[in-house]
Amino acid sequence: MFRVLGVDPASAGPTGYGIVESDGKTCRVLHYGALRVAAKRQKASRGAALQDVHKLLCDLLEEFAPQAMAVESVFTALNMRTALRLAEVRGVVLLAAEQHGVEVFSYAPREVKACVAGHGQADKKQMQAMVRALLAMKETPEPSDAADALAVALCHIQAEQLQRRFGVQRAASGERKINPVGALAGHATGHRAAGILTNQ
């Protein structure tokens, strides 16, 4: 069994998280949600808000013991202030993973959307619907931050399958050199592709 902790870092809103487990044929959700730091706590201390994120991730890493962590990378179109705040949260995410000996893999937002929804311009609703379909969930994952985290986890599981079956190499930055456009989405819409996970 291969277990991944997906994380969708946020500069101000909730930080999404999701644990997905795969046996190589099917995927299932073990846990998901989003941490919203109280406004009072954020205003009182930026460090306190980061501490909350760190504690959450440490708790998840200890409880579920994932083999890898998949994180959505910083969106380059963000303004400088937002990008810096997001980088702070991402730093805490990386610290928690390092403290627990878990390797981290980063995926660009468009890469995740292309893998899960079939195109890099998918909106929040489309991503939620596709994640629900791919993981055979009874309910749509809420909030959207949690669905994004599950999507990142699915993207990494797909990357791992490509690595094992086709020898796709890892980039120097630690990211995977993959182009999984529509790979997962194909099964959700009834189309077949080599090496794709399915819940059918």
Assigned CATH for 2-188: 3.30.420.10
Cβ neighbours around 155 below 10 Å, total: 28
Q: Higher pLDDT residue, 13 or 39?
A: 13
Rounded to 10 deg, the angle between the 46-64 and 80-99 helix axes is: 40
Please write the tens of the pLDDT for every residue from 54-73. Answer: 999 999 999 999 999 999 98
Q: Higher pLDDT residue, 121 or 170?
A: 121
Which one of 21, 72, 111, 160 is the catalytic residue?
72
How distant is the alpha carbon of residue 180 from its chain centre? 15
Please write the tens of the pLDDT for every residue from 158-192. Answer: 998 888 777 655 543 444 433 433 445 544 443 32
Q: Determine whether 98 is an active site residue.
A: no
At 168 the pLDDT is 57
pLDDT band of 86, cuts 50, 70, 90: confident
At 146 the pLDDT is 97
Q: Determine whether 8 is an active site residue.
A: yes
Which one of 8, 52, 111, 160 is the catalytic residue?
8
**Where in the chain are the domains?**
2-188
Q: How far is CA 190 from CA 133, 136, 181, 184, 185, in A?
A: 11, 14, 15, 10, 9
Cβ neighbours around 23 below 10 Å, total: 10
Which one of 21, 52, 111, 145 is the catalytic residue?
145
Q: Determine whether 175 is an active site residue.
A: no
In a 3-state reduction of DSSP, which class is residue 3? strand
